[in-house]
């Protein structure tokens, strides 16, 4: 049992001023694995006051000191590799291979990539008649979701620390333990008192309190559009800067010269990785009409190679949904697809055979559904893909862009001109051609309702800075 009912404020683990706690469950076993504090407004006020008090000194630290701090954090993070992996398997149900290769590694890469970005970052600039200086923004409130317990918070923490800003952060209540471990890492790495403060609690209390707090200068939020919109409205009251990393419904466009096995594997791994609970995953696939049947046959043949089950098993590709609520939401969408007469290519409603305990879904793909229906347009956040056919590349691009979202896009094929054409014309923040590896130095974020602002590397640091122009500065 993990009983972490203390808050980390001003460099100390202190008791919450409230008695209430929030239980945390393992989604693979449905058993309670621990509890966190359901923090109070009082806890939040103390954390904000600590971050405010720490800001003037921390903002004055040198670039070299902050690079060293990020390097120390990366070292302490590496030392706790097994603990971090085990905690994420338990609280999220993320399978062992994915937790090690993606969840754990992404968190580490953000600290290293941000330290690298900081080495070359231009904090000042001389222009003809002006001097431009980028100052740390102040106290930042960070709010994160459950689907990547260390990745989401690591990119925000790394950027904030690189900029000279101080922080109050609130992780998701489903997956708080990785963040608690990350806070221990900050402490061990020598983050000065008050620079990073952790307040666990409900979104409606602590999250809402952060976006309404008059002494927080900037809110960096990752989560749903519904909550993002609420945060923006709250922030508007005192003109608080807000950065939002929100949902997606990303397209995969397949060229007619693509290898059908590569296409089928790309489709399956997009929707099944992290049980479909990835904001940037491809969930709508556009296939040339003549390739549809061979794609369907290949998917049906390959799906058994992607086992669903116990996340601790090294052979498992897909674990459970994070919670019962999330499982019910996914089941509801699958039922809608069936009721609307979609062709069920693989999967379907209910749990996979033999998995009665745990919030397991089936890897599901539908063909023959309308472009404007719920399954084609709404973010499901589960292993459900809709498959469409197209006749011309221009038609595929238009269909790919017919969504309120613009977080990511994918292209699979060979012809360089067509790969370029599709990649350059999808309206989204990140396009991946032929499963290219991620680049942690490049910006991440969304067009349209997928968000405002960018994270990762130098673009991430930029979000936590305010440019100041000085005219007539004595040379």
**Choice between 153 and 296, CB closer to ligand NAP:** 153
Active site residues: 245, 279
Q: Is 211 in the site for ligand NAP (CB under 6 A)?
A: yes
Least Cβ distance, residue 396 to ligand NAP (angstroms): 23
Q: Is 227 in the site for ligand NAP (CB under 6 A)?
A: yes
Least Cβ distance, residue 212 to ligand NAP (angstroms): 9
Q: Which residues contact 464 (CB under 8 A, 6 or more apart)?
A: 136, 137, 140, 159, 160, 162, 163, 165, 218, 220
When binding is defined by CB under 6 A, the residue of 246, 264, 272, 396 that contacts ligand NAP is 246
- Binders of ligand NAP among 71-100, rule CB under 6 A? none
**292, 316, 295, 291: which is closest to 306 by C-alpha?**
316
When binding is defined by CB under 6 A, the residue of 61, 105, 224, 340 that contacts ligand NAP is 224
**Alpha carbon distance 453, 443 (integer Å):** 9
Residues in the chain: 475
Least Cβ distance, residue 350 to ligand NAP (angstroms): 23
Least Cβ distance, residue 173 to ligand NAP (angstroms): 4
Least Cβ distance, residue 418 to ligand NAP (angstroms): 28
When binding is defined by CB under 6 A, the residue of 43, 310, 379, 463 that contacts ligand NAP is 379
**307, 323, 317, 17: which is closest to 145 by C-alpha?**
323
**Choice between 216 and 308, CB closer to ligand NAP:** 216
Here the tokens at position 245 are: 């990393």
Q: Do the Cβ atoms of 408 and 436 come closer than 8 Å?
A: no
**Alpha carbon distance 381, 448 (integer Å):** 18
Least Cβ distance, residue 277 to ligand NAP (angstroms): 7
**Choice between 163 and 222, CB closer to ligand NAP:** 222
Q: Which among 66-74, 113-121, 216-224, 249-257 is the span making contact with ligand NAP, rule CB under 6 A? A: 216-224
When binding is defined by CB under 6 A, the residue of 16, 147, 166, 364 that contacts ligand NAP is 147
- Binders of ligand NAP among 262-291, rule CB under 6 A? 279
Q: Is 447 in the site for ligand NAP (CB under 6 A)?
A: no
Least Cβ distance, residue 145 to ligand NAP (angstroms): 3
Q: Which among 4-12, 166-174, 189-197, 303-311 is the span making contact with ligand NAP, rule CB under 6 A? A: 166-174
**Choice between 406 and 413, CB closer to ligand NAP:** 406
When binding is defined by CB under 6 A, the residue of 407, 422, 426, 431 that contacts ligand NAP is 407
Q: Are strands 12-15 and 21-26 parallel, antiparallel or unpaired?
A: unpaired
Least Cβ distance, residue 147 to ligand NAP (angstroms): 5
When binding is defined by CB under 6 A, the residue of 91, 217, 245, 463 that contacts ligand NAP is 245
When binding is defined by CB under 6 A, the residue of 10, 105, 133, 230 that contacts ligand NAP is 230
**Choice between 104 and 381, CB closer to ligand NAP:** 381
**Alpha carbon distance 412, 254 (integer Å):** 5
Measure CA of the first residue to CA of the last residue in the chain; give whole Å. 61
**Choice between 72 and 386, CB closer to ligand NAP:** 386
- Binders of ligand NAP among 126-145, rule CB under 6 A? 143-145
* Count of residues engaged in binding ligand NAP, rule: CB under 6 A: 31
- Binders of ligand NAP among 167-196, rule CB under 6 A? 170, 172-173
- Binders of ligand NAP among 313-332, rule CB under 6 A? none
Q: Which residues contact 47 (CB under 8 A, 6 or more apart)?
A: 7, 9, 10, 168, 197, 198, 199
132 phi-psi bin (left φ>0, alpha ψ -120 to 50, beta other) = beta
**Choice between 202 and 351, CB closer to ligand NAP:** 202
Least Cβ distance, residue 146 to ligand NAP (angstroms): 5
Site residues (CB under 6 A) for ligand NAP?
143-147, 152, 170, 172-173, 202-204, 207-208, 211, 222-224, 227, 230-231, 245-248, 279, 379, 381, 407, 446, 451
């Amino acid at each position: 049992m993990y009983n972490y009912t203390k808050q980390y404020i001003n460099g100390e683990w202190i008791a919450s001023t409230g008695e209430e706690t929030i239980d945390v469950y393992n989604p693979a076993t449905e058993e309670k694995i621990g509890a966190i504090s359901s923090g109070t407004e009082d806890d939040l006020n103390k954390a904000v006051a600590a971050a405010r008090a720490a800001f003037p000194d921390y903002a004055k630290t040198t670039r070299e000191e902050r690079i060293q701090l990020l390097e120390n954090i990366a070292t302490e993070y590496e030392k706790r590799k097994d603990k971090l992996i085990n905690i994420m398997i338990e609280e999220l149900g993320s399978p062992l291979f994915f937790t090690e290769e993606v969840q754990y590694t992404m968190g580490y890469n953000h600290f290293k990539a941000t330290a690298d970005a900081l080495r070359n970052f231009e904090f000042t600039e001389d222009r003809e008649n002006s001097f431009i200086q980028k100052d740390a923004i102040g106290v930042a409130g960070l709010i994160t979701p459950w689907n990547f317990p260390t990745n989401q918070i690591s990119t925000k923490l790394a950027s904030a620390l690189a900029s000279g800003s101080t922080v109050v952060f609130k992780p998701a209540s489903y997956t708080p333990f990785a963040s608690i471990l990350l806070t221990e890492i900050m402490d061990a790495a020598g983050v000065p008192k008050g620079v990073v403060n952790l307040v666990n609690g409900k979104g409606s209390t602590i999250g809402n309190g952060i976006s309404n707090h008059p002494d927080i200068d900037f809110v960096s939020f990752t989560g749903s559009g519904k909550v993002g919109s609420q945060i923006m409205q709250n922030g508007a009251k005192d003109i608080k800067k807000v950065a939002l990393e929100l949902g997606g419904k990303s397209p995969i466009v397949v060229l007619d010269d693509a290898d059908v096995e590569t296409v089928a594997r790309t489709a399956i791994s997009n929707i099944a990785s992290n049980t479909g609970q990835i904001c940037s995953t491809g969930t709508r696939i556009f296939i040339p009409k003549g390739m549809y049947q061979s794609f369907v046959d290949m998917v049906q043949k390959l799906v058994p190679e992607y086992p669903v089950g116990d996340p601790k098993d090294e052979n498992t590709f897909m674990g459970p949904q994070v919670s019962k609520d999330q499982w019910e939401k996914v089941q509801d969408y699958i039922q809608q697809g069936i009721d609307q007469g979609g062709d069920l290519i693989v999967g379907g409603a209910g749990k996979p055979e033999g998995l009665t305990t745990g919030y397991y879904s089936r890897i599901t793909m539908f063909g023959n559904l309308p472009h404007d229906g719920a399954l084609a347009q709404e973010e499901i956040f589960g292993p459900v893909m809709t498959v469409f056919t197209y006749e011309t590349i221009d038609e595929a691009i238009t269909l790919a862009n017919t969504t309120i979202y613009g977080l990511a896009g994918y292209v699979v094929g060979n012809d360089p001109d067509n790969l370029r054409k599709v990649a350059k014309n999808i309206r989204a923040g990140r396009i991946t051609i032929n499963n290219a590896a991620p680049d942690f130095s490049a910006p991440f974020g969304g067009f349209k309702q997928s968000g405002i602002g960018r994270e990762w590397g130098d673009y991430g640091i930029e979000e936590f800075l305010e440019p100041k122009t000085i005219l007539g500065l004595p040379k």
